[in-house]
Amino acid sequence: MAVKIKLKRLGKIRSPHYRIVVADSRTRRDGRAIEEIGKYHPTYNPSVIEVDAERVAYWLGVGAQPTEPVLAILKKTGDWQKFKGEPAPAPLLVAEPKPARPSFEAFTGEDEGKGEAITQKKKAEKKDEAAAESGSTEA
């Protein structure tokens, strides 16, 4: 049986996600797979590539042939060079961790020094003006 390592497409239209699978070469693209050995998410920046290197080495060792897209992925991860005995490629880009969102308490702590709302100040000014007018009419 001819075995291939290929991509199995998942996801919605214009939002592809792939699984790297080992399958018989005669099965259709999204058909039954022998084993799932990785994931590939091309829409993320940088692309997410997860490969089980031990299983890839096993399947390449028993004669499974990678398709062209999978071969490119294996070259990026260094699994193909390891299988062929060549030097490893440059390291992949690693996604920067997202900064933690500031908590609500951090924002409320900064606002405490500002004082009262604008509308309350206007009411207080009107009371002061009314008191001044009533005081000036009495005198």
State whether 60 and 27 are in the same domain.
Answer: yes
| Rounded mean pLDDT, 107-122 | 60
Higher pLDDT: 6 or 1? It is 6
Instruction: Establish if 70 belongs to a structural domain.
Output: yes
Give the residue numbers spanning the domain of 78.
3-84
State whether 43 and 75 are in the same domain.
Answer: yes
Q: What is the pTM of this model?
A: 0.63
Number of domains in the chain: 2
Instruction: Establish if 66 belongs to a structural domain.
Output: yes
Tell me: pLDDT of 95 over 80: no
Instruction: Establish if 77 belongs to a structural domain.
Output: yes
State whether 72 and 116 are in the same domain.
Answer: no
Q: How far is it, in rounded angstroms, from Cα 43 to Cα 11?
A: 11
Q: How far is it, in rounded angstroms, from Cα 2 to Cα 17?
A: 25
State whether 67 and 132 are in the same domain.
Answer: no
State whether 9 and 62 are in the same domain.
Answer: yes
